[in-house]
Chain A
Amino acid sequence: MRWIALALTLTALALPLSAPAQEGETQAMSPPDPESFRPVVAAVVDGVILPDHAGFTQAATGFARAMPAFCENPSPDDLSITKGEFARLVMAWSRVEIWRMGPALSDNRHDRLYYWPDRGGRGLRQVEALLQSDDDKATDPEALYAGSVALQGIPALDYLLSGDGAQVLTEQDGIRRCHFASAIAQVVARNAEALQADWQGPKGYGALMRDSGSANAVYRNPGEAMREILTRAAEAVQVVRERKLIPALGDGPAAARPKLAPLWRSDLVIPAVLSELEAVAALLEAGRLPALPAMGSMQAWVSGTRFDLRQAMQAITRATDGAPSWEQVLTDPARHKLLSYAVIPLSSAEKRLGFELPSMLGMVAGFNALDGD
């Protein structure tokens, strides 16, 4: 399976093994000056966030070119190539998915690009109904953009390319389905470009994070921007654990619910999850947190977080290695157990990123601030 290769590639990128830090190591450390986070924030923005958004735009525009070309010549070989482009789109999206803030919330871009969870199949029913109708909206990117967020994003593409009835894509009967997917691809590219543009430039969100200060409407100092980064990282790990893995795992192999995970139709659940976790791990690299002055035992703590992420990615990879499908991973007792094991280090990584690390860095990320109600 293609995702096994992707998973192995990601695992090869995993960070060096090191022992997690002990909690007591942090007690005597005095928190650093918030200003010392300024280069860290800049490194994350310039080294991770902006390149990842550029990568997403590139993947989206690539897919937006591939889809209409495939519809012109819908051969099985070209379908395989097109699905490969879709997988690249998903992988690139998974790296930017964690930044659900500012530009992603503006104009509901996150939901436009990725309407998930689709609890109760509300969005899916809209896609099916529009596909079955003769409404021209299905093949009009402008009309799709102006309509429901459920009809214009990656989950809708997942259904059209790999869901029920997708075999018609290489047949004459599949032309409407193909053009529907092609129109969505154009909207995804449009939203990806808008998202990237909102991050870039002297007035972009990246600059807002870099140039924190008393006149900044969102970040009053670099510590607040740093806290946002850690909050997003913790939230990404939480989303993987709580929403993408645990609901699908259920109470055991017999009670597993594979369809609760995203992208199960295209069998991209695991590559997407690994890509997302890899993006979190990259933050610890780009941010060069251990190099901060007066960090004391910081390095050990960052290593511990990397260790957790690596453990989780290894467990996920082992659980899925050689499995014929996502459903098989969940229904095979041994694989189910291995995948369940991944949840434990993810829980630890989430705690470190969301609470312990911010506390060590002198940010009251706290209990209430991180996760109120």
Chain B
Amino acid sequence: MRLMGIDRRRVMLALAATATTGLLPRWSHAETPDRPVLLTSAAQIQGGYVAAGLTNTGAVAWTLALPKRGHGGAVNAKGDLGVIFARRPRRFAVAMDPRTGRKIAEFETPDGRHFQGHGIFDPQDRILIATENAYEEERGVLGLYDSRDNFRRIGEWDAGGLDPHDLVPIQGGRRIAVTLGGILTHPDYPRAKLNLDDMRPGLSILDMDGRIVSIHTPEPQYAQLSIRHLAEAADGTIWFGCQYEGDGRDSVPLLGVVQPGIDGISWVRPDRNAEQALRQYVGSVAACRETGLVAISSPRGGHCLIFDAAGRALLADWPVGDVCGLAARGPDLLASDGQGRLWRDGMEIANAPNLRFDNHMVALPV
């Protein structure tokens, strides 16, 4: 682990327990070792895709077969309902009890829409809000599914732009922030990017009734920065990570901050070495409320960078090959990689040799 900057004391305090307790769980004394605390999707070495529940020691508590490759997930505030979404451009989602892996439902988007891979529950813990591509209309939407009615789709909101991908509740659940990748795709040509010459990425903020409050867009020179993942930091700022679709030689920011209520975007530029290590690709973002830290991962660069949200300074750089999944739980920053390893605060805590952890993890409530 490499630490940098002047604020070492803070990150060391935040991470100190890791160094002293090694592999011992430390999230909560009340938690039993076999209780799942993370929900993720994964590929099995022997073939096939699963949802998985991971314990606080990194053990795989359960797996649940998925029809195809999954992507991100959602867990309700009560912690008894989880959902894994299909990786785009597929249309399925699987709901389960994330404590046991018991399957509750499997449901699909309607014709003309597919999941984009992420969702959240509304503050009442009832409505699942999922990013979707309305591909025939070339529009991004948020699909609304009633979890108490077998995930019946009850409506949709306009996302504010093309290619909505990740979303988080902000301001205590009063609003939602949505990343807009800006890339046009259509399932006729799976994953082909159809408008790289005319991308319009952004970050939209919506009220909980679907009204768009604001859309924050990058300057024209950064039009090929696809804004894809985000997290709300402890101070209410929204941190987002980008994937650049232009020339690898270009020097472009990959991390931005939006302050709700203030127009525009502030870019966070760590030193050039750290930025280059990301290989123009941020795969996931997580914010830790207890420590005030923000983590970003780059599977292409094989690095996690840790920032102090308040000072916007780079505090640590964890080299982890093929890392992507990130989650904050209690004081901990957790990362997963494509080799089935789970990392806590930059240290490997477990290895599931039969799994490759996919791009994202969701923490169950503490």
Contacts and interface: CB of A to CB of B under 8 A. Distances in A.
B324 interface: yes
A364 interface: yes
Contacts of B228: 373
A366 B322 contact: yes
B139 to A, nearest CB: 13
A260 interface: yes
Contacts of B300: 369, 372
Interface centre among A106, A365, A367 (most CB of B within 10 A): A367
Interface centre among B191, B283, B300, B358 (most CB of A within 10 A): B300
A368 B249 contact: no
Nearest to A105: B247
A111 B190 contact: no
Contacts of B245: 105
Nearest to B228: A373
Interface in A114-169: 117, 119-120, 149
Nearest to A247: B188
B192 interface: yes
Given A108-B196, A117-B188, A149-B197, A369 B276 contact: no
A368 B189 contact: no
Contacts of B71: 373
Interface in B251-269: 251
A58 B338 CA distance: 43
A247 B324 CA distance: 30
A102 interface: yes
Contacts of B299: 366, 368-369, 372
A102 B358 CA distance: 27
B356 interface: yes
Interface string A81-111: 0000000000000000000011101101001
Interface centre among B43, B189, B245 (most CB of A within 10 A): B189
A117 B189 contact: yes
A366 B321 contact: yes
B194 interface: yes
B359 interface: yes
A368 B359 CA distance: 6
Given A117-B194, A364-B322, A368-B323, A102 B186 contact: no
B338 A364 contact: yes
A106 B248 CA distance: 9
A247 B245 CA distance: 24
A368 B188 CA distance: 23
A220 B228 CA distance: 26
A208 interface: yes
A111 B188 contact: no
Interface string B190-202: 1110101100000
A243 B356 contact: no
Contacts of B359: 368, 372-373
A321 interface: no
Contact of B281 (A205, A367, A372): A372
Nearest to A122: B194
Contacts of A365: 322
Contacts of B196: 105, 108, 111
Interface string A278-318: 00000000000000000000000000000000000000000
A255 interface: no
Given A366-B322, A366-B338, A117 B283 contact: no
A217 interface: yes
B197 A108 contact: yes
A46 interface: no
B344 interface: no
Interface string A230-254: 0000000001001100010000000
B114 interface: no
A110 to B, nearest CB: 8
Nearest to B250: A106
A346 B226 CA distance: 30
Main secondary structure of the interface of A (DSSP, over half): helix
A102 B248 CA distance: 5
Contact of A106 (B246, B281, B283): B246
Nearest to A108: B197
A365 B356 CA distance: 12
Given A101-B248, A366-B299, A373-B117, A111 B197 contact: yes
Given A117-B189, A243-B192, A366-B339, A217 B322 contact: no
Contact of A217 (B243, B249, B283, B324): B249
B190 A369 contact: no
B248 to A, nearest CB: 5
Contacts of A108: 196-197
Nearest to B188: A247
Interface in B60-81: 71
Given A111-B197, A117-B188, A105 B246 contact: yes
Given A243-B190, A369-B299, A373-B71, A364 B339 contact: yes
Contacts of A373: 71, 87-88, 117, 165, 228, 283, 359
A112 to B, nearest CB: 8
A272 to B, nearest CB: 16
B302 interface: yes
B337 interface: yes
Contacts of B191: 242
A17 interface: no
Interface centre among B281, B302, B338, B356 (most CB of A within 10 A): B338
A149 B197 CA distance: 7
Contacts of B192: 117, 239, 243
Nearest to A363: B321
A19 interface: no
B39 to A, nearest CB: 17
Contacts of A243: 189-190, 192
Given A119-B188, A119-B189, A369 B338 contact: yes
Interface string B136-174: 000000000000000000000000000001000000000
B322 A369 contact: yes
A242 B356 contact: no
Nearest to B281: A372
Interface of B: 43, 71, 87-88, 117, 165, 184, 186, 188-192, 194, 196-197, 228, 243, 245-249, 251, 276, 281, 283, 299-300, 302, 321-324, 337-339, 356-359
The 10 closest A-B pairs by CB, nearest first: A367-B338, A366-B322, A368-B299, A366-B338, A364-B321, A368-B324, A369-B299, A367-B356, A106-B247, A117-B189
7 contacts: A102-B247, A117-B192, A119-B188, A247-B189, A373-B117, A373-B165, A373-B283
